[in-house]
Chains A and B, each alone.
Chain A
Amino acid sequence: MNTQRDGNVWWKEFPLHAPTEEHRLLAHTVESFVRDEVEPQAQSYNRDERFNRELFRRAGELGLLGLTVPSEDGGAGLDATAAVIVHEALSWSDPGFCLAYLAHAVLFVHNFATNANEQQKRRVLPQVLSGQWIGGMCMTEPEAGTDVLGMRTTAELQGDHYVLNGRKMFITNGAIDDNTLGDVFLVYAKTGGKISTFLVEKGMPGFTLGQRLHDKLGMRSSMTAELVFDHCLVPAGNLIGEEGASLQHMMRNLEIERVALAAMSLGIAMRCLETMVQYANTRHAFGVPLREHGQIQRYIGDSYAEFRAARSYVYDVARRLDLRSLGNRADADGAKLFAARVGKNIADRAIQVLGGYGYMGEYVVERLWRDAKLIEIGGGTLEAHQKNITKDLCRAPEWIRR
């Protein structure tokens, strides 16, 4: 076997976190965007629980909203690794904004571009790729979260319209402020007992904002809402894919969603670790820098090892993830299960190392600690991941040795 190329063992040089030139350039662009435009607004938008619509449009201008959309459809045609790069970088600064980005770019745009027909794509994609329209995805209901298949929203074909009845809960981008609905949604509903997907647009009769939810623990620069469908009239042409055939869309999109959410935990962990190290280097207690104290070394050492492990796992899963196929659930769930806890633990230790200052907003880590918790719930709870992984492994134990 020839492992030598240009005198180097090339696979040892393989850059897992930016495998191609495009990934490297993308990382550079997003890091600059974060430094110059995301970071300066993060603290105030989170404090005030407001969504930054201007910043969102800027993300559209840079092409970030169509990251994984094929180039034929006007996107960048990039992959799961690119999605991880973007979510990690944005969450280093503003996980709340990143969650709104995820709900739009991954839950709506990516899902829609994968499953919609040409006519639907021509009408909607330009609006959502530019950020003119803000999109979201409606799966969770007031009485059905983890138990997705227990959803109660129904859709019934009457003439040339479907009539939707039900309520959806915790919908990111469901509102953009207290009174304004988001623009477009992929709504899962049951047709004859099976799951179908509908494109529901602001202004359709019977579609209203139930309530914008206030006082979230974290992720406060993203808006979360309850949406109401009361005899909501959706044109038959807004059915996405075949009637009753959406289980697959849903499961497939959950894989990239979970990997992207895991990447958000990486960004949080990275920022918290950097903050901790910098503080331990400069703050003195008992006549020495904090870094000299064994207990501080334990916080930093454990955090670093966990961060590196999570980062390798998430990027490795992203590298393998084929966005068109299904069947990576054990690892999409595994990556999020692991990274979510790493993010939360490292944020917690960062506060601890910073002492009283860590508890204060100015040092950012308290906000990241609040944001980090969401990854243990949204897009699947820890317990849901444990359940899925167990199910998949018991069905195919050979996966363990892969």
Chain B
Amino acid sequence: MKILVTVKRVPDPNATIRVKPDGTGIVTDNLKYVVNPFDEIAIEEALRIKEKGGGAEVVLVSIGAKVAQEQLRTGLAMGADRAILVVAEQDLDPLGVARILQKIVEQEKPDLVLMGKQAIDDDANQTGQMLAALLQWPQATFASKKESLESEAEKNGLPGIQMANGKAQVVREVDGGLETIEVPLPAVVTVDLRLNIPRYASLPGIMKARKKELKEIPVAELGIDVTPKLRVLRLEPPPKRKAGRKVSSVQELVHLLHTEAKVI
């Protein structure tokens, strides 16, 4: 069993994001970067399948500037076996990323590609679906699990995705409930927030990470066109939240919700 997990370098979700005055992007000075939180969940799930679900080689792949090495090292320190960085300094859109991943999948021939359902920077939620289409593989999106994140199963680090008989059983979050589906392998699975709580890299994990393989492939070597089909016209910060207001009675609250907020 081989599992390929995608890892994107994104701004720290706890950081304050400021949009550049000209709207062409965000201010990146002094910005801290982390592994996309959804990808962290995907790495954790792959490691659980490896540890508790019958073994696997876990290979990470990231696409982007050379500095994305940092995020791959984080994943290696969590316990992944090796990593690939497709070095691409230019801007990419989800289709470009999916095309690159298709090439890597063809080279690596994994049984399962695990991805975050989206990246928290531009929240596209497209790459997994596009990759499955390009590969003509089955896909299961928004993998979740029945047990809660406070359950024993979670404390014991059991995987939520069940792999058996050449199939993956995936519990999906859908409106109003959970749906269980089965996809034949190889397949693309994207993960949602409630699948697991990712581990921190332990000290022994951190010390081992340095010795693990991190291969760099220049994007030009893949011989594909990754010119973005998508252009960002402008970024705008969300409107500032207005200060709260104290009301003196329930009547006044109801009145304001009706006349000012117009929600009832």
> Which residues of chain A have a CB within 8 Å of any CB of chain B?
21-22, 24-26, 28-29, 32-33, 61-64, 66-67, 71, 76-78
Contacts and interface: CB of A to CB of B under 8 A. Distances in A.
Contact of B206 (A29, A32, A33): A29
Contacts of B205: 63
A67 B200 contact: no
What 8 pairs across the A-B complex have the smallest Cβ distances?
Answer: A63-B203, A76-B203, A29-B200, A25-B206, A32-B200, A63-B202, A62-B202, A25-B77
A33 B197 CA distance: 13
Contacts of A21: 70, 73, 209-210
B74 A66 contact: no
B207 A71 contact: yes
A179 B209 CA distance: 43
11 contacts: A21-B210, A24-B70, A26-B206, A29-B206, A62-B200, A62-B203, A63-B202, A63-B204, A63-B206, A76-B207, A77-B207
B207 A28 contact: no
Contacts of B209: 21, 25
B183 interface: no
Nearest to B69: A21
B202 A22 contact: no
B158 interface: no
B201 A28 contact: yes
Interface residues of B, number: 15
B200 A33 contact: yes
A61 B206 CA distance: 13
Contact of B204 (A24, A32, A33, A76): A76
B121 to A, nearest CB: 18
Nearest to A20: B210
Contacts, number: 47
Contacts of A63: 202-206
Contacts of B70: 21, 24
A67 B207 CA distance: 11
A61 B74 contact: no
A24 B67 CA distance: 13
A76 to B, nearest CB: 4
A22 B206 contact: yes
A61 B207 CA distance: 15
Given A22-B206, A29-B201, 13 more contacts: A21-B73, A25-B77, A25-B206, A25-B209, A28-B34, A28-B200, A33-B200, A62-B200, A63-B203, A76-B203, A76-B204, A76-B207, A78-B203
B216 to A, nearest CB: 14
Contacts of A67: 203
Contacts of B201: 25, 28-29
A27 to B, nearest CB: 10
Interface in B89-120: none
B203 A26 contact: yes
A66 B203 contact: yes
B218 to A, nearest CB: 16
Contacts of A32: 200
Contacts of B73: 21, 25
Contacts of B34: 28
A246 to B, nearest CB: 29
A38 to B, nearest CB: 12
A71 B201 CA distance: 17
A26 B201 CA distance: 8
A22 B210 CA distance: 8
Contacts of A62: 200, 202-203
Contacts of A22: 206-207, 210
Nearest to A62: B202
A34 to B, nearest CB: 10
Contacts of A66: 203
Contacts of B203: 26, 29, 62-64, 66-67, 76, 78
B156 to A, nearest CB: 14
Interface in B200-234: 200-207, 209-210
A25 B74 contact: yes
A29 B200 CA distance: 6
Nearest to A75: B203
Contacts of A33: 200
Interface in B55-97: 70, 73-74, 77
